[in-house]
Structure 1
Amino acid sequence: MYWLGPFEYPSKQALLDGLKEFLRKAPLGRIRNSEAIQKLHLLLALHPDAERKIGVGVDHFLIARNTLAGRGLRLVRTDGSEDSFSYKKCITGVAQSAHGKVCEALRFAVRPQLDSFRARLTYPVECAISHEMIVHPNDLHVDHSEPFWQLLAHFCRTHQIDLSSLETTGNGMNLALVDHSISDAFVEYHLKHAHLQPSRKSANLLKGGALPERVDQV
């Protein structure tokens, strides 16, 4: 698995493939979709030259035609200056960001709730996305009807928490927040507000994508 902040992907390659498809299909011009904008900010923070690219701060992102061929991503800073950036450089060979580790730690914290939901299911069970029947546990993905990233964003606003200020300890399945009070609060929040649903693994991946195709809508 690979996490881009709170967004989960099967691998780095899956994210790269999704971004390539996004650039191919999305309309040219300013990107206005809030989910797409959040993902691009997270990507840009991973760029090897992120500090210079970001400069005085990013006002918005564009999809523009490259000088030679194809399409590319551009950022427009708050002072009006522009620059291009490669999403490949943001992902390939770059270690997971501190923000990404925090999101992953919070996912691990609520994992028992997902496991409990999975254990209560009786097969066959209907996929909440494709409405096809899931006949075997190996084809099951426990999904959030409200995306995990939105649930996490609501939690942060409610509790006035800045994820970028938090620290993690451990690695792998033992990754956790240093401040257990925050992870405990999120576990409680997730228990009250998360709506879990069964989905086929293939349907869940198609639903997620790398970025929303309809970048012309907020």
Structure 2
Amino acid sequence: MYWLGPFEYRSKQALLAGVKEYLRTAPLGRERRPVAIQKLQLLLALHPDAERKIGVGVDHFVIARNQLSGRGLRVVRVDGTEESFSYTRCITGVAQSPHGKVCEALRFAVLPQLDAFRARLTFPVKCEISGEPIVHPNDLHVDHKTPFWKLLARFCKDQQIDLSSLATTGSGMKLALVDSSVTDAFVAYHSKHAELQASRKAANLLKGGSVATSSDSYRIKALRPNSS
């Protein structure tokens, strides 16, 4: 997995493909959708020249046509100056952030709950996204009805926890938080609040999260995280 702040992606390539699609389909002009803005801020912070790009501070982001072809991202600073930035430079070659490792460690911590849910199922199982039958275990994905990253964000808000202040130990499937009390608290929170469902793997990958407000029904399919 790859994490952009609290947002989970299957890989860096999935994030790159997502941003490319976002640029292709999003309306030109100033980006006003809160979730998209948050992700663009996180992307820009990964840029190798982020300090200079951000300058006196970010006022907003703009999706603009490039001079030669295609579309690109521009950051407009609080003093009115602006500059383009490459999302590929923001993502390519960047190591998993400490914050991302914390998110991944907490994801690993609740895997037993997902495994237990899977073990209780009897095939064929109805896909809760497409309505199609799931006839083989290899086609099954245990999915969160409320995306995992949203659940984690609510936990942090409720418990007043700053994930960026936490440390991890180990690697791979043995990645864990140094402070096990936070892990235990999240495992209990997940057990109480997470709503799990069965879905076909293909249906889950196609599921997009709406970040629309009441005045904007546009659906971002590109900057969306892995929806589970």
Shared fold per TM-score greater than 0.5 = yes
Question: Partner letter of residue 146 of structure 2?
Answer: E
1:190 aligns to 2:190 (yes or no): yes
Q: Does structure 1 residue 214 correspond to structure 2 residue 224?
A: no
1:1-218 equivalences under 5 Å are 1-208=1-208, 214=219
Question: Aligned to 2:64, what secondary structure does the other structure show?
Answer: strand
State percent identity of aligned pairs.
77
TM-score by length of 2: 0.86
Contact kept, 8 Å, 1:140 with 1:200, in 2: the verdict is yes
Deviations 1:103-133 (A, max 9, x none): 1111111111111111111111111111111
User: Partner letter of residue 19 of structure 1?
Assistant: V
Return closer, same or farther for 1:78/1:117 CA change in 2, 3 Å cut-off.
Answer: farther
Are residues 33 and 188 of structure 1, via their aligned partners in 2, closer, same or farther at CA, if it must alter by over 3 Å? same
- 1:208 Cα deviation from its structure 2 partner: 4.1
Q: Which AA in structure 2 matches 1:66?
A: N
Letter in 2 for 1:136: H
Cα gap change, 1:110/1:56 in structure 2, threshold over 3 Å: closer, same or farther?
Answer: farther
CA contact (8 A) 1:29 1:64 kept: yes
Change (3 A) 1:160 1:107: same
SS for the counterpart of 2:122 is coil
User: 1:28 offset after TM fit, Å?
Assistant: 0.8
- Structure 1 length-normalised TM: 0.90
The list of structure 1 runs, each at least 4 consecutive aligned residues, that deviate by more than 6 angstroms after superposition, is: none
Report the Cα distance in structure 2 between the residues aligned to 1:98 and 1:32, rounded to whole angstroms: 28
- Is the partner of 1:142 in helix, strand or coil? strand
RMSD of aligned alpha carbons: 1.9
Task: Please give the per-residue CA displacement for 1:2-23, whole angstroms capped at 9, x wherever unaligned.
Answer: 2323333232222211211111
Q: Cα distance 1:192–1:40, how it changes in 2: closer, same or farther (>3 A)? A: same
Q: CA deviation at 1:46?
A: 1.9
- Cα contact 1:110–1:187 (8 A) shared by 2: yes
Q: Distance in 1 between matches of 2:77 and 2:182?
A: 33
Contact 2:2 2:100 in 1 (8 A): no
Report which structure shows greater RCO (CA 8 Å, sep ≥6). 1
**CA-CA distance at 1:163 after TM superposition:** 1.3
TM-superposed CA distance for 1:32, in Å, is: 2.4
Indicate if the aligned counterparts of 1:5 and 1:101 stay in contact, CA closer than 8 A.
no
User: Would the alpha carbon gap of residues 29 and 154 (structure 1) be closer, same or farther in structure 2, given more than 3 Å must change?
Assistant: same
Matched residues in 1 for 2:180 and 2:57: separation?
32
Query: How much has 1:160 moved relative to structure 2?
Result: 1.0
Question: Gapped runs of 5+ residues in structure 2?
Answer: 213-217, 221-228
Alignment gaps of 5+ in structure 1: none
1:151 positional shift: 0.8
Q: Which amino acid aligns with 1:148?
A: F
How many corresponding residue pairs?
214
Deviation, 1:95, is 0.5
Deviation per CA, 1:40-84: give whole Å up to 9, x if none.
222222221222222333232221111222111122233333222
